[in-house]
Amino acid sequence: MTAFALTARQLARRTELRTLAAERLRPLAEKGEPGRVNRPLVAELGRLGLLRGLFTAGALDLCLTREALAYACTEAETAFALQGLGAHPVHAYGTDAQRARWLPEVTAGEAVAAFALSEPGAGSDAAALTLRADRDGTGRWRLTGEKCWISNAPEADFCTVFARTTPGAGARGVTAFLVPADRPGLTGTPLDMLSPHPVGTLALDAVPVTADDVLGTPDRGFRVAMTTLGLFRPSVGAFAVGMAQAALDATVGHTSRRDAFGGKLKDLQTVAHQVAEMAVRTEAARLMVYAAAAAHDEGAPDAPDVPMRAAMAKLLATETAQYVVDAAVQLHGARALRRGHLLEHLYREVRAPRIYEGASEVQRGIIAKELYR
């Protein structure tokens, strides 16, 4: 079953994607500026046909792609995932006109998308968002407020923005809007983050939107957000697994070559056992990720065990990747801390997935809620 073992075709596809990432995408990533949108990299993802899969593939194939890209080029993986996160609401909830306007450019790598949910005072508690959508008396809304920690902001060409349309209604009073970047009153500022991918703030000062900009149904936008995160949550785990596998393979190679105490590092039992533990945890995380993705693809995303599996997968995989990368740094020694080393790069990349798209504590809350349901 694909939930527990990848088929020969899937394994071949993973190898192909790793090669593409190493040969075609990594050189472009290396030319990019940390913290900025790398448009040549996004365009190459489009030329390779990878972005099309964001809207045609299921969660399992999404995980396969993200794991393979993360193994060879984390920047390419992140650019790929952010296109999906920002544009999936348009694909799933947009009108024919919205889809026709934006999805061809997204899949071609010509338009960059952003998913604008988090706010300075509403991160993990997303239902507490306060960005206002006020009726202006002409059948339009004006969006006023701030979004923070938004990937691809402020450089995205359009944003899926979640705004409060009914005060005091919690999750039931949120509406999703498709907001092009050229709307008057929309500005933003990049943030200098530990991880190298683009993150910034958005400031909305009476930004005009109409019924034609609504994604889905007014006051039902929180479902748009949660459905999108539910699809991408297992694949965040796949991103983590790809990084863990890269760190593990680097460690196996290093400890096999490194002379120490009259032999190789791998001959020391404490080292060998540490590497074995890294391998076991990585494989366990991989199995849970693909099991969660397969459960999602079986067609019942609202079934009680599907969100719990997704939460378990993201939790285990991201915490595992942190452990594996940290252990790899320890076994490599000071060389792994040098700027430009693979593990120095992974060490900066691996921390954020434990926070974004639902922090580890949020995932534990989801799991507990389902257990006590």
Of 75, 77, 349, 357, which one is the catalytic site residue?
357
CB atoms within 10 A of CB 86: 28
User: Tokens for 278?
Assistant: 């890294």
- Tens-place pLDDT, residues 137-175: 787 999 999 999 999 999 999 999 999 999 888 788 999
User: Tokens for 360?
Assistant: 């580890």
Closest CA to 87 of 115, 46, 59, 47: 115
Looking at residue 303, its pLDDT comes to 63
Mean pLDDT of the chain: 92
Domains and CATH numbers, the chain: 8-107 (1.10.540.10), 113-219 (2.40.110.10), 223-372 (1.20.140.10)
Give the predicted TM-score (pTM) of the model. 0.92
CA torsion, ordered 294, 124, 347, 274, to nearest 10 deg? -60
Helix-helix angle 59-72:74-93, to 10 degrees: 160
Query: Using omega within 30 degrees of 0 as the cis cutoff, is the peptide bond preceding 353 cis?
Result: no
- Tens-place pLDDT, residues 61-113: 999 999 999 999 999 999 999 999 999 999 999 999 999 999 999 999 999 99
Could you give the CA distance from residue 135 to residue 129 in angstroms, rounded to a whole number? 18
Q: Do residues 164 and 131 touch, judged by C-beta distance below 8 A?
A: yes
Looking at residue 1, its pLDDT comes to 38
Query: Using omega within 30 degrees of 0 as the cis cutoff, is the peptide bond preceding 154 cis?
Result: yes
The verdict on whether 277 is a catalytic residue reads no
User: Tokens for 90?
Assistant: 């348009």
